[in-house]
């Protein structure tokens, strides 16, 4: 049989986007494929099952088991004991095997004897790599202060080294998961509800679900999708607000084709309509919310017609959405979103989402926002860092998430104001692809005295390293503890704890991040302060608080389960809660926000209009890739080798373009895409908007599969609008036109 065909079928059956079948049916029945693929004929009875794996093809971290044969991993499956993802994993999860054995992977410590950006690699020993890194970081910290080292972490393995660098005295850490992802959401909900919501809305038991952006189905997080699909199977009404006909829009009862950047106005009109008509949970608001009068006053101008004009929607549709939500309250999931750094006016939008949740009383009820209690674990970190008083670069953003806003670090790295930053450390983050305005990022990197990168693949950021360290991948190491709360099939609450365990031994000279960090710490004079001697000790120390250990978890097939408490409080007499805000209540109007000179009630801040001849570039996920990190994965590349450029069909006709045409793009600043892609002509996108899946167009020629395939959206995002409350990076304020056969084609008015 044709191998590629088999692969394709395999992935389609595993891909949640391709298959709208219940997830429970997705994972099994792929046995024949793997047996053929790895040569050794036979069945799985010859393989060994290794439990305790936790996927990190993305950051949802599904619980997996590995099938191994002769110490080689031949298949990944969901852990049957999992009450979270269950036996299901997604296409990317399955393809973890291809990452593990990717011949392009980093194998040994490397030293760049060429230039940053055009590296020449020399293999060196771990001793040499660690000695040189420690010497460079120590020298820089002695000369310029400890804060002269900036760190860009992402992923489970970056936590320990991040804590170490903070311990040495630098606050300059910018996590992609906060500043380019969910930090703004967390801060908006913290100021409103007093906790960060995760994506913990009870979609499985909702009567209506509202998704703003949140393109579930392309955004694939297995257990989250299961909950969503269960909700839809149970008949929940689905409202999807998106300028594009996303995978979620395709399942929606109402698709709201909103003008990008205007969601806050949409939400304000809905809230005003509900309050005016008295369709809200008066008792819940009275008992649990503060600032209703100011809140109402702030919405006074937000009529349906006002929003309709701003959002370019029929007023009737906004009313329809309000009424669906109102009618089904409180069993409504107002999804908090995840990637929420959109237009730089995001804190206010997310505050509006939180306030809408509150007035509907959609908290601690089936379908609503849930504050789960998961089991308590111990801590075993480096002691907290002490920072010099005047080294905080984040003085403008009172509601910033932990760390330092990315752009503040980058600008300081270029200007040395108010003090020099002279070393960058990237650990599991690819700032070239992650942060808008690549030119500034590259300029910052070129300005450093020293750049350290720890990675598993040769990606764009690794081209700028002076020393490049190879880490063991998530399939070859201990590290992350996944705990949480879920429903089991009998609809009971279950708390679970699992810890990532290696499914195979690390190959070549790859090491785990605790080992690497400790070896650096010893060489930098912190040997006496090391909190744990190994990653196993770290995990065991944390588990001990729950009377667990690696050994105990191994005996439990990788997952400890215990019955949890229902998260619902439905007895009206008991629905008065204590929230961790200043007032102890949900803050519809927030004094602390007012004290910092921002609008205390959600307010709409307009975004820049699309210039003549251009369309607004928005982006999102591909179901079969994770950002840039999966681009070299043979199986996934085979599924989606490049990212088609979505363009409205009327526009295409007027511009003389047809489906499949090969094009390049140019943005408002004259920056052209490095590569080309094909266009997808569709009625499923607004005329003023165009779309690319994020993460394509890798620059690193060491990627033999992914290099130069598709268009890198980040390269075209040269302008960012920093969210004024949080310092998060708004990146949907860029505009493009098309380049075909060397000529620019403008968008019609």
Ligand X SMILES: Nc1nc2c(c(=O)[nH]1)N[C@H]1C(S)=C(S)[C@@H](COP(=O)(O)OP(=O)(O)OC[C@H]3O[C@@H](n4cnc5c(=O)[nH]c(N)nc54)[C@H](O)[C@@H]3O)O[C@H]1N2
CB of 596 vs ligand SF4, minimal distance in Å: 36
Contact 83, 76 (CB under 8 A): no
Contact 426, 438 (CB under 8 A): no
- Please identify, using beta-carbon distances, which residue of 155 and 697 lies nearer to Mo ion: 155
- In three-state secondary structure terms, 153 is strand
- Please identify, using beta-carbon distances, which residue of 10 and 363 lies nearer to ligand SF4: 10
In sequence order, the 6+-apart residues with CB closer than 8 A to the CB of 282 are: none
- Of 83, 97, 220, 593, which lies in the binding site for ligand X, with binding defined by CB under 6 A? 220
CA separation, residue 476 to residues 140, 275, 518, 599 (Å): 33, 54, 19, 49
Q: What residue 593 binds from ligand X, ligand SF4, Mo ion, none (CB within 5 to 8 A, per partner kind)?
A: none
d(CA 530, CA 382): 7
Is omega for the bond preceding 418 within 30 degrees of 0, making it cis? yes
CB of 11 vs ligand SF4, minimal distance in Å: 12
d(CA 56, CA 60): 7
Contact 193, 586 (CB under 8 A): yes
- Please identify, using beta-carbon distances, which residue of 399 and 627 lies nearer to Mo ion: 627
Interaction of residue 452 with ligand X, rule CB under 6 A: no
Stretch that binds ligand X, among 28-36, 151-159, 521-529, 702-710 (CB under 6 A): 151-159
Helix axes 535-544, 513-523, angle to 10 degrees: 110
What does the block give as tokens for 40? 């050794």
- Of 112, 429, 441, 675, which lies in the binding site for ligand X, with binding defined by CB under 6 A? 429
Stretch that binds ligand X, among 257-265, 275-283, 326-334, 737-745 (CB under 6 A): 257-265
Across 325-419, the runs of DSSP E, i.e. the strands, are 332-334
Stretch that binds Mo ion, among 42-50, 177-185, 405-413, 592-600 (CB under 5 A): 177-185
d(CA 164, CA 169): 9
Site for ligand X in 453-472 (CB under 6 A): 454-457, 459, 461, 471
Stretch that binds Mo ion, among 173-181, 250-258, 387-395, 520-528 (CB under 5 A): 173-181
Contact 628, 460 (CB under 8 A): yes
- Please identify, using beta-carbon distances, which residue of 392 and 557 lies nearer to ligand SF4: 557
- Please identify, using beta-carbon distances, which residue of 7 and 200 lies nearer to Mo ion: 200
What is the phi-psi region of residue 550: left when phi exceeds 0, alpha when psi lies from -120 to 50, beta otherwise? Answer: alpha
Q: What residue 290 binds from ligand X, Mo ion, ligand SF4, none (CB within 5 to 8 A, per partner kind)?
A: none
CB of 188 vs ligand X, minimal distance in Å: 14
- Of 60, 280, 450, 619, which lies in the binding site for ligand SF4, with binding defined by CB under 6 A? 60
Site string for ligand SF4, 61-80 (x = CB under 6 A): xx------------------
Site for ligand SF4 in 81-110 (CB under 6 A): 85, 89-90, 92-93
- In three-state secondary structure terms, 681 is strand
Interaction of residue 694 with ligand X, rule CB under 6 A: yes
- Please identify, using beta-carbon distances, which residue of 546 and 715 lies nearer to ligand X: 715
Site string for ligand X, 700-719 (x = CB under 6 A): -------------xx--x--
d(CA 712, CA 628): 9
- Nearest of 301, 247, 368 to residue 623 by alpha carbon: 247
Residue 438 burial (CB count, 10 A): 20
Phi first, then psi: give them for residue 367, nearest 5 degrees.
90, -20
Site string for ligand X, 598-637 (x = CB under 6 A): --------------------xxxx-x-xxxxx--------
CA separation, residue 322 to residues 193, 304, 318, 369, 456 (Å): 22, 10, 6, 18, 47
Q: What residue 427 binds from Mo ion, ligand X, ligand SF4, none (CB within 5 to 8 A, per partner kind)?
A: ligand X
Print the SS3 string covering 56-121.
CCCCCCCEEEEEEECCEEEEEEECCCCCCCCCCCCHHHHCHHHHHCCCCCCCCCEEECCECCECCE
- Of 180, 205, 328, 413, which lies in the binding site for ligand X, with binding defined by CB under 6 A? 180
- Of 75, 87, 105, 215, which lies in the binding site for ligand X, with binding defined by CB under 6 A? 215
- Nearest of 175, 168, 126, 178 to residue 144 by alpha carbon: 168
CA separation, residue 348 to residues 3, 157, 183, 341 (Å): 51, 33, 13, 11
Site for Mo ion in 338-357 (CB under 5 A): 339
Interaction of residue 198 with ligand X, rule CB under 6 A: no
- Of 65, 181, 355, 365, which lies in the binding site for Mo ion, with binding defined by CB under 5 A? 181
- Please identify, using beta-carbon distances, which residue of 216 and 586 lies nearer to ligand SF4: 216
- Of 27, 55, 212, 520, which lies in the binding site for ligand SF4, with binding defined by CB under 6 A? 55
Radius of gyration of the chain (CA): 25
Q: What residue 694 binds from Mo ion, ligand X, ligand SF4, none (CB within 5 to 8 A, per partner kind)?
A: ligand X
What does the block give as tokens for 570? 């439905």
Applying CB under 6 A, the residues found at the interface with ligand X are 58-59, 154-155, 157, 176-177, 180-181, 212-215, 219-221, 241-244, 246, 258, 260-261, 263, 337-339, 342, 427-430, 433-434, 454-457, 459, 461, 471, 473-474, 618-621, 623, 625-629, 691, 694-695, 713-714, 717, 731-732
Applying CB under 6 A, the residues found at the interface with ligand SF4 are 55, 57-58, 60-62, 85, 89-90, 92-93, 220-222
């Amino acid at each position: 049989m044709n191998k590629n065909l088999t692969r394709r079928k395999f992935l389609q059956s595993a891909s949640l986007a391709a298959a709208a079948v219940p997830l429970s049916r997705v994972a099994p029945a792929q046995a024949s494929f793997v047996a053929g693929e790895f040569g050794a004929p036979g069945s799985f009875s010859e393989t060994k099952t290794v439990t305790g794996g936790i996927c990190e093809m993305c950051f949802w971290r599904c619980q997996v088991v590995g099938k191994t044969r002769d110490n080689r991993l031949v298949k990944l499956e969901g852990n049957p004991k999992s009450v979270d993802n269950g036996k299901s994993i997604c296409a990317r999860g399955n393809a973890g095997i291809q990452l593990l054995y990717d011949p392009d992977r980093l194998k040994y410590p490397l030293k760049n004897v060429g230039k940053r950006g055009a590296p020449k690699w020399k293999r060196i020993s771990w001793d040499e790599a660690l000695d040189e890194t420690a010497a460079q970081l120590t020298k820089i910290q002695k000369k310029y202060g400890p804060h002269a080292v900036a760190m860009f972490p992402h992923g489970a393995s970056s936590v320990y080294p991040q804590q170490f660098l903070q311990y040495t005295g630098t606050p300059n850490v910018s996590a992609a998961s906060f500043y380019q992802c969910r930090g703004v959401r967390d801060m908006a909900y913290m100021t409103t509800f007093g906790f960060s919501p995760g994506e913990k809305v009870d979609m499985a038991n909702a009567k209506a679900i509202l998704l703003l952006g949140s393109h579930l189905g392309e955004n694939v997080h297995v257990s989250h999708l299961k909950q969503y699909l269960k909700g839809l199977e149970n008949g929940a009404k689905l409202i999807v607000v998106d300028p594009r006909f996303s995978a979620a829009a395709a399942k929606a009862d109402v698709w709201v084709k909103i003008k990008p950047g205007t969601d806050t106005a949409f939400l304000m009109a809905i809230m005003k309509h509900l309050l005016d008509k008295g369709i809200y949970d008066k008792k819940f608001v009275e008992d649990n919310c503060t600032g209703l009068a100011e809140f109402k006053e702030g919405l006074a101008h937000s009529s349906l017609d006002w929003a309709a004009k701003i959002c370019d929607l029929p007023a009737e549709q906004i009313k329809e959405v309000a009424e669906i939500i109102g009618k089904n309250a409180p069993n409504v999931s107002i999804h908090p979103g995840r990637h929420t750094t959109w237009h730089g006016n995001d804190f206010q939008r997310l505050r509006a989402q939180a306030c809408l949740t509150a007035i509907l009383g959609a908290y601690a009820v089936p379908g609503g926002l849930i504050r789960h209690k998961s089991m308590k674990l111990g801590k075993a970190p480096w002691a907290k860092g002490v920072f010099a008083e005047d080294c905080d670069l984040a003085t403008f953003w009172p509601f910033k998430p932990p760390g330092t806003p990315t752009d503040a670090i980058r600008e300081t790295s270029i200007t040395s104001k108010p003090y020099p930053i002279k070393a960058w450390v990237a650990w599991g983050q690819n700032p070239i692809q992650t942060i808008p305005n690549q030119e500034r990022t590259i300029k910052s990197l070129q300005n450093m005295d020293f750049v350290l990168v720890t990675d598993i693949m040769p990606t764009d950021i690794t081209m700028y390293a002076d020393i490049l360290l190879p880490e063991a991948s998530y399939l070859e190491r201990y590290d992350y503890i996944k705990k949480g709360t879920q429903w089991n099939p009998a609809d009971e609450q279950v708390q679970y704890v699992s810890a990532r365990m290696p499914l195979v031994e690390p190959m070549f000279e790859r090491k785990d991040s605790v080992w690497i960090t400790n070896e650096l710490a010893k060489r930098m004079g912190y040997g006496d302060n090391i909190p744990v001697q190994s990653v196993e000790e770290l995990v065991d120390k944390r588990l001990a608080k729950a009377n667990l250990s690696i050994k105990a978890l191994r005996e439990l097939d990788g997952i400890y389960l215990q019955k949890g408490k229902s998260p619902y409080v439905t007895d009206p007499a008991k629905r008065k809660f204590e929230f961790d805000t200043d007032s102890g209540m949900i803050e519809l109007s927030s004094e602390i926000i007012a004290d910092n000179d921002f609008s205390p009630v959600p307010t709409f801040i307009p975004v820049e209009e699309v210039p003549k001849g251009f369309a607004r570039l928005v982006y999102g996920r591909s179901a079969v890739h994770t950002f840039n990190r999966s681009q070299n994965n043979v199986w996934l590349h085979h599924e989606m080798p490049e990212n088609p450029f979505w363009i409205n069909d009327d526009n295409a006709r007027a511009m003389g373009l047809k489906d499949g045409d090969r094009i390049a793009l140019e943005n408002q600043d004259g920056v052209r895409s490095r590569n080309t892609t094909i266009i997808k002509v569709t009625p499923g996108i607004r005329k003023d908007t165009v779309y690319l899946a994020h993460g394509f167009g890798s620059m690193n020629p060491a990627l033999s599969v992914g290099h130069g395939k598709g268009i890198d959206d980040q390269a075209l995002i040269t302008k960012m609008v920093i969210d004024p409350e949080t310092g998060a990076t708004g990146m949907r304020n860029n505009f493009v036109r098309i380049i075909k056969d060397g000529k620019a084609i403008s968008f019609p008015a």
